[in-house]
Structure 1
Amino acid sequence: MRNVARLLFGRGARRRWLHLIIGGALAMPYVFVGQLVVGPATHARYVFYDLALQLLSFAVGLPLAAVTSVLFPLTRPLEAGAVRWLCGVDGDRLADGPARTRDAKGRTAAWFTLHLGFGGIIAGMSLAVPPFSVVLIALPVITVFSDDLLGLPEAMGQGWVLALMPVAGVACLVALAACAVVAGALLAHWAPALLGPTAEERLAAAEARAADLAVRNRLARELHDSVGHALSAVTLQASAARRLLDSDPEFVREALAAIEDTTRRTVGELDAVLGVLREGDAPGTAPAPTLAADLDGLLRRTRAGGLRVTATVDADPQALSPVLSREAYRIVQEGLSNALKHAGGQVTVTLGIGIADGHLEITLENPLAIASPCRPGGGHGLRGIADRARLLGGTAQAGAEDGTWRLRVRLPMKSPI
Structure 2
Amino acid sequence: MRGFLRPLFGRRARLRWIHLILGGALAMPYVLVGTVVVGPLTGSDADFSSIVVQLASFAVGLPLAAVTSLFPLTRPLESAAVRWLCGVDADLLADGPARGRAAKSRTAAWFTLHLGLGGIIAGMSLALPPFAAVLIVLPFASELRDPRFGLPAVFEHAWALALAPVAGVASLLALAACAAGAGVLLARWAPALLGPTPEDRLAAAEARAADLAVRNRLARELHDSVGHALSAVTLQASAARRVLDADPEFVREALTAIEETTRRTVGELDAVLGVLRDGDAPGTAPAPTLAADLDGLLRRTRAAGATVTATIGAPLAALPPVLSREAYRIVQEGLTNALKHTGAGVTVTVRAALCAGHLEITVENPVAASARTRPGGGHGLTGIEARVRLLGGTVRAGPADGSWRLRVRLPVTHPSAAPGPPSGPRHPPEERP
Q: TM-score, normalised by structure 1?
A: 0.86
- What is the CA–CA distance in structure 2 between the aligned matches of 1:217 and 1:138, rounded to whole Å? 72
Q: Deviations over 1:37-88 (max 9, x none)?
A: 3333223343322223322221122122223334x44433333333333233
Q: Deviations over 1:377-408 (max 9, x none)?
A: 54222211111111111233334556644433
Are residues 234 and 49 of structure 1, via their aligned partners in 2, closer, same or farther at CA, if it must alter by over 3 Å? same
- What is the CA–CA distance in structure 2 between the aligned matches of 1:268 and 1:208, rounded to whole Å? 29
Q: Give the share of equivalent positions with the same residue, in percent.
A: 73
C-alpha contact (below 8 Å) 1:268/1:286 kept by paired residues: yes
- What is the CA–CA distance in structure 1 between the aligned matches of 2:212 and 2:399, rounded to whole Å? 33
Are residues 124 and 248 of structure 1, via their aligned partners in 2, closer, same or farther at CA, if it must alter by over 3 Å? same
Aligned counterpart, 1:246: 245
Aligned counterpart, 1:19: 19
Q: Does 1:51 align with 2:48?
A: no
Aligned counterpart, 1:179: 178
Aligned counterpart, 2:322: 323
Unaligned runs of 5+ in 2: 417-433
Q: What code does the residue aligned with 1:12 have? A: R
Unaligned runs of 5+ in 1: none
Aligned counterpart, 1:362: 362
Q: Does 1:257 align with 2:259?
A: no
Aligned counterpart, 1:113: 112
Aligned counterpart, 2:35: 35
User: How far 1:255 moved relative to its partner?
Assistant: 0.5
Q: What code does the residue aligned with 1:390 have? A: R
Q: Deviations over 1:229-285 (max 9, x none)?
A: 112211221222222212211111011000111012112222332343455555433
- What is the CA–CA distance in structure 2 between the aligned matches of 1:3 and 1:309, rounded to whole Å? 81
Aligned counterpart, 2:292: 293
Residues 154-163 or 348-357, more deviating:
154-163
Aligned counterpart, 1:133: 132
Are residues 364 and 141 of structure 1, via their aligned partners in 2, closer, same or farther at CA, if it must alter by over 3 Å? farther
- What is the CA–CA distance in structure 2 between the aligned matches of 1:282 and 1:223, rounded to whole Å? 17
- What is the CA–CA distance in structure 2 between the aligned matches of 1:223 and 1:350, rounded to whole Å? 25
Are residues 148 and 380 of structure 1, via their aligned partners in 2, closer, same or farther at CA, if it must alter by over 3 Å? farther
Residues 320-329 or 303-312, more deviating:
303-312
Are residues 147 and 49 of structure 1, via their aligned partners in 2, closer, same or farther at CA, if it must alter by over 3 Å? closer
- What is the CA–CA distance in structure 2 between the aligned matches of 1:298 and 1:128, rounded to whole Å? 82
- What is the CA–CA distance in structure 2 between the aligned matches of 1:236 and 1:167, rounded to whole Å? 91
Query: What does 1:325-340 align with in structure 2 at a 5 Å threshold?
Result: 325-340=324-339
Query: What does 1:1-400 align with in structure 2 at a 5 Å threshold?
Result: 2-70=2-70, 72-99=71-98, 101-142=100-141, 152-155=151-154, 164-197=163-196, 199-278=198-277, 281-356=280-355, 358-359=357-358, 360-373=360-373, 375-376=374-375, 378-400=377-399
Q: TM-score, normalised by structure 2?
A: 0.83
Matched position secondary structure for 2:363: strand
Matched position secondary structure for 1:48: helix
- What is the CA–CA distance in structure 2 between the aligned matches of 1:401 and 1:242, rounded to whole Å? 34
Are residues 73 and 355 of structure 1, via their aligned partners in 2, closer, same or farther at CA, if it must alter by over 3 Å? closer
The two structures, once aligned, show a CA RMSD in angstroms of 3.1
Are residues 14 and 343 of structure 1, via their aligned partners in 2, closer, same or farther at CA, if it must alter by over 3 Å? farther
User: How far 1:123 moved relative to its partner?
Assistant: 0.4
Tell me how many residue pairs correspond in the alignment. 414
- What is the CA–CA distance in structure 2 between the aligned matches of 1:248 and 1:165, rounded to whole Å? 109
